[in-house]
Amino acid sequence: MLDLHRLRLLREVHGRGTVHGAARALGYTPSAISQQLSVLEREAGTPLLERIGRNVRLTAAGQVLVRHAATLLEGVEAAEAELAAVAAGRVAGVVRVAAFQSAFLRIVAPAVRALASSHPDIRVEAAELEVEQAAPALRLQQLDVMVGDEYDGQPRAVHADLHRERLLREHIRVVLPADHPEAAAERVPIARLADVAWASCHAGTGQREMQVRVCRELGGFEPDLRYSSDDFLILLELVRTTGAGALMPDLVLSHGTPGLAVRLPAEGDVGREVFMLTRRTQTPAVVAVADALRAAAAKSL
């Protein structure tokens, strides 16, 4: 009989790539993980892992076991949640949610507030996290729901084993100081902003890649990326106080933009999709949280 706890350890080692990585994530010592996996190999009657340098990878038998482990562990999670709901007489459980900053403020926070009234027995644990970190955690059952973003022309990785659903689509708008010469236009030509200093998120982020791409493709110039922060509220203040320009999505701008001019680009539409990722097997509590996120997204713009 295969032990579910050891199957969870195997899946974690597969997801992290090393025994040490799995040990750090789970709070075990590497030797404890190795001992448990040795027992699992004896139970399975075949090697499950092979060492490649400092990393490990699954054997063919290990891949089979991890694939079935995901289904088994999701089934156990769903059964435990439904039993808890029956015992409580209503939908109950812990649901862990991750989202990027502007979605956290405009979608997750209002959803948590609504759930406090509609489903008081659901405990929502929410954290700000980017897609690259959140998707693996969702797969490893360290998260239950993730809200991510995808800019036009910059597709995210496809996670075929997870369920993706669009929550909304935003426009990307030009943000300038209210007294900028181009601020009077209904739509701002990007090509006229070649001499502007730009405020953007840090290198490697979707927003920065989008801003560089738009300036190159629509404006025909390389932007002067002078100010950097991954906090959109800081970027708005930088535009307001330094005279910089920025390209920002509607969710950020819905907080209010006193002293700023917010316009669509004249050369064409640029957008961003906000989406939700969940595992394909959803507990009643996760379903309730997903419903609340949909409702909050519909009211966010």
The SS3 call for residue 9 is helix
Residues of the chain with CATH 1.10.10.10: 4-81
Strands 224-228 and 197-200: parallel
Query: Which architecture characterizes domain 90-301 according to CATH?
Result: 3-Layer(aba) Sandwich (3.40)
Residue 121 backbone class (left: φ over 0; alpha: ψ -120 to 50; beta: rest): alpha
* Residue 62 Cα distances to 16, 40, 44, 56, angstroms: 15, 10, 9, 11
Q: What is the pLDDT of residues 36-62, one digit of tens each?
A: 888 888 888 888 888 777 777 888 888
With a cut of 80, say whether residue 274 has pLDDT above it: yes
> Which pLDDT score, from 0 to 100, does residue 120 have?
94
> Which pLDDT score, from 0 to 100, does residue 81 have?
67
> Which pLDDT score, from 0 to 100, does residue 300 have?
94
Q: What is the pLDDT of residues 207-266, one digit of tens each?
A: 999 999 999 999 999 999 999 999 999 999 999 999 999 999 999 998 788 999 999 999
Average confidence score pLDDT of the chain? 89
Residues of the chain with CATH 3.40.190.290: 90-301
CATH number for 4-81: choose from 1.10.10.10, 3.40.630.30, 1.20.120.920, 3.40.50.300: 1.10.10.10
With a cut of 90, say whether residue 73 has pLDDT above it: no
Q: What is the pLDDT of residues 14-32, one digit of tens each?
A: 877 778 877 777 777 888 8
Strand partners, 151: 272
With a cut of 90, say whether residue 12 has pLDDT above it: no
* d(C-alpha 188, C-alpha 263), whole Å: 6
pTM for this one? 0.78
Average pLDDT over residues 271-295: 94
